[in-house]
Amino acid sequence: MIAMAGLAIALSACDNMANQPKLNPFELPYGSQTPWPAQPPRNIVARDAPAKPPSPPPVTMALLQRGRERFDINCAPCHGRLGDGNGIIAQRGFPHPPSFHIPRLKDEPIEHFYDVVSNGYGIMFAYADRVGAADRWAIAAYIRALQASRTATIVDVPVDKRGALQ
């Protein structure tokens, strides 16, 4: 008897909760106005919006030196110090990354290298959380210098610097 009474109370209580007045998701209260289409709050960036990389900084000797330092630490283990894709990791049996000296990569804009370092490409993982934006630009500039070094001649070296060449 007590069980029957408890069941009757539970069933009637559930019915009242299911049928009570309420707003459904995304339903506005009666009489309210909202602009359509809905606008996000100010100063909010969408998570899925593609981030436009900042423009590259001017190339200076200090930027190239920083780029070489960061490249040697982060990139050379796989890509090799010459950018030929024959780094120590690749020599140990991992897949060889492409050489920076192939025509396809020589024709890419510098933003491509910034983007690849930031987001990864193929089996290369993203370095955005390991390498700051300024250092990513420095690495991209150094990659361009590596590419230029393959076809450089003595004429490309300033006269006052030629004595330092070996």
Decide if pLDDT at 32 tops 90.
no
Q: What CATH number was assigned to the domain covering residues 61-151?
A: 1.10.760.10
Cβ pair 100, 143 in contact under 8 A? yes
Label residue 161 by pLDDT band (50, 70, 90): confident
pLDDT digits (tens, 9 = 90+) for 100-119: 999 999 999 999 999 999 99
How far from 11 is each of 2, 14, 18, 20, 75, CA to CA, in Å? 14, 5, 11, 14, 67
Rounded CA separation 145/141 (Å): 6
Residue boundaries of the structural domains of the chain: 61-151
Residue of 152 and 81 predicted with greater confidence:
81
Residue range 78-99: mean pLDDT, rounded:
93
Cβ-based neighbour number of residue 120 at 10 Å? 13
Decide if pLDDT at 53 tops 70.
no
